[in-house]
């Protein structure tokens, strides 16, 4: 049986439709929405922000409604009774640097390569408006003090003390006729003494290239200046009815001079000598000062001779040449001082050092 013929009905084409795409709007917080507890449904809601845990909690039922909230309070506690100027230090920049002058809250306009000419003009105008020559001088001096102290391994507290001393001299215009390098050398020398890190005039001379006589003259002038300043401060405290603290924060330049015992510790460390040898050299240095066997000798020569003698007594003999390289004196000076010490060796060395075998006179080289 034949199939009937199929009729094809033409389909009209669909009309083209164009969908308009709206531009995406930036996100804006909907301030009409209120956070409400889904359990209590109180209005107004009793919401508590627990900044210590970072949670948002319903104050009525204790349900945690959110976490990881941002703490917008002060970074530290503010005591109202101690706040004299009624200013809240909640949001501030870096702490004020006591070594610089001014409020230190100015804004700097940076200029980098490739920026517009207007940016360059703004940076230049701002630099002219806020230019402070005294601050620029202090920063240059602080940089030099830091580099000099780091060059010979002086601790940071000594560097900070030297910077403070230099700032006092600049603020009071005490040494306007002296070169800055000379005043810096004197401040470093006094700071080393105050911080119990002794350095000799020779070491400061090698460090700053300021002559030893000039360092000595500046040291005497600085000593007189700081002591006079402390006397005025103490007199003002007594006049106001206060009590002067003998261990106060005043900068006293009249501290004890460098002793051979202080130098022995550092020189022995540079020579890689044992603690036993270091202690023996310090003990000999103390006895040599007490007995006056090396009267008139410099502390460096005395310390070098004591180390030379102690190293041989302890069996760690160092040559006079090795000691001279570290101490900065000639080997002939060390041998001459050793000759003066050798006849009084029984008086310079404790008997118990010989008795227990820690030292032996037979190890001493001939004079």
> Is the pLDDT reported for residue 6 higher than 80?
no
Is 301 within 8 Å of 337 (Cβ atoms)?
yes
pLDDT tens per residue, range 271-309 = 888 898 999 999 988 888 887 777 778 888 889 999 999
Residue appearing with tokens 């300043």: 229
Number of neighbouring beta carbons within 10 Å of residue 188 = 27
DSSP state of 330: -
| pLDDT category of residue 366 using cuts at 50, 70 and 90 | confident
Among candidates 270, 163, 177, which has minimal Cα distance to 217? 177
- pLDDT value, residue 255: 58
> Is the pLDDT reported for residue 29 higher than 80?
no
φ, ψ dihedrals at 64, nearest 5°:
-80, 120
> Is the pLDDT reported for residue 2 higher than 60?
no
Among candidates 318, 324, 366, 323, which has minimal Cα distance to 345? 366
- pLDDT value, residue 76: 61
> Is the pLDDT reported for residue 34 higher than 60?
yes
Is 221 within 8 Å of 251 (Cβ atoms)?
no
Among candidates 159, 252, 257, which has minimal Cα distance to 216? 257
Is pTM beyond 0.85? Reply is no
For residue 191, what are the contacts with CB-CB under 8 A and spacing of at least 6? 158, 159, 161, 162, 165
How far, in Å, CA of 309 to CA of 282, rounded? 11
How far, in Å, CA of 337 to CA of 301, rounded? 7
> Is the pLDDT reported for residue 314 higher than 60?
yes
| pLDDT category of residue 4 using cuts at 50, 70 and 90 | low
Least confident of 118-132, 143-157, 263-277, 334-348: 118-132
φ, ψ dihedrals at 189, nearest 5°:
-65, -45
The percentage of residues in the chain with a pLDDT greater than 90, rounded to a whole number, is 2
Q: State the DSSP string of 8-62.
A: PPPPPPPPP--PPPPPPPPP---TT-----TTT--SS--EEEETTTTEEEETTT-
> Is the pLDDT reported for residue 3 higher than 60?
no
- pLDDT value, residue 208: 80
> What counts of helices (H) and strands (E) characterise the chain?
13, 3
For the segment 206-221, the average pLDDT, to the nearest whole number, is: 82
pLDDT tens per residue, range 86-145 = 555 555 555 667 777 766 666 677 766 666 777 778 888 877 776 667 777 888 888 899
For the segment 171-200, the average pLDDT, to the nearest whole number, is: 84
H or E segment and range at residue 317: none
Is 285 within 8 Å of 260 (Cβ atoms)?
yes
Residue appearing with tokens 């030297």: 162
For the segment 150-159, the average pLDDT, to the nearest whole number, is: 85
| Average pLDDT of the residues of the chain | 79
What is the number of residues in the chain?
367
């Amino acid at each position: 049986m034949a199939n009937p013929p199929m009729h094809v009905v033409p389909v009209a084409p669909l009309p083209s439709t164009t969908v308009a795409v709206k531009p995406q709007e930036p996100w804006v917080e909907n301030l009409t929405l209120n956070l409400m507890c889904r359990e209590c449904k109180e209005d107004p809601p009793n919401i508590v922000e627990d900044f210590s845990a970072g949670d948002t909690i319903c104050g009525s039922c204790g349900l945690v409604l959110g976490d990881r909230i941002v703490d917008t309070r002060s970074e530290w506690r503010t005591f109202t009774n101690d706040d004299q100027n009624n200013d809240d230090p909640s949001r501030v920049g870096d702490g004020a640097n006591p070594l610089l002058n001014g409020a230190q809250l100015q804004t700097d306009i940076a200029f980098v390569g490739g920026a517009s000419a207007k940016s360059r003009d703004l940076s230049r105008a701002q630099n002219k408006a806020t230019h402070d020559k005294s601050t620029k001088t202090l920063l240059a001096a602080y940089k030099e003090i830091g580099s000099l102290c780091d060059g010979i391994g002086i601790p940071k507290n000594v560097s900070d003390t030297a910077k403070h001393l230099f700032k006092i001299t600049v603020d009071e215009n005490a040494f306007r006729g002296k070169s800055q390098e000379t005043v810096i050398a004197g401040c470093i020398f006094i700071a080393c003494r105050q911080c119990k890190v002794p350095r000799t005039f020779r070491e400061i001379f090698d460090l700053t290239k300021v002559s030893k006589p000039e360092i000595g003259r500046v040291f005497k002038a600085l000593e007189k200046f700081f002591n006079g300043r402390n006397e005025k401060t103490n007199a003002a405290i007594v006049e106001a009815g206060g009590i002067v603290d003998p261990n106060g924060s005043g900068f006293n330049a009249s501290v004890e001079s460098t002793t051979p015992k202080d130098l022995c510790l550092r020189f022995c460390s540079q020579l890689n000598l044992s603690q036993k040898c270091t202690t023996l050299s310090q003990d000999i240095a103390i006895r040599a000062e007490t007995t006056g066997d090396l009267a008139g000798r410099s502390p460096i020569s005395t310390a070098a001779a004591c180390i030379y003698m102690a190293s041989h007594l302890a069996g760690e003999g160092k040559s006079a040449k090795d000691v001279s390289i570290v101490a900065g004196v000639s080997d002939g000076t060390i041998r001459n001082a050793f000759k003066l010490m050798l006849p009084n060796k029984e008086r310079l060395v404790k008997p118990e050092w010989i008795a227990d075998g820690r030292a032996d006179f037979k190890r001493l080289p001939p004079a």
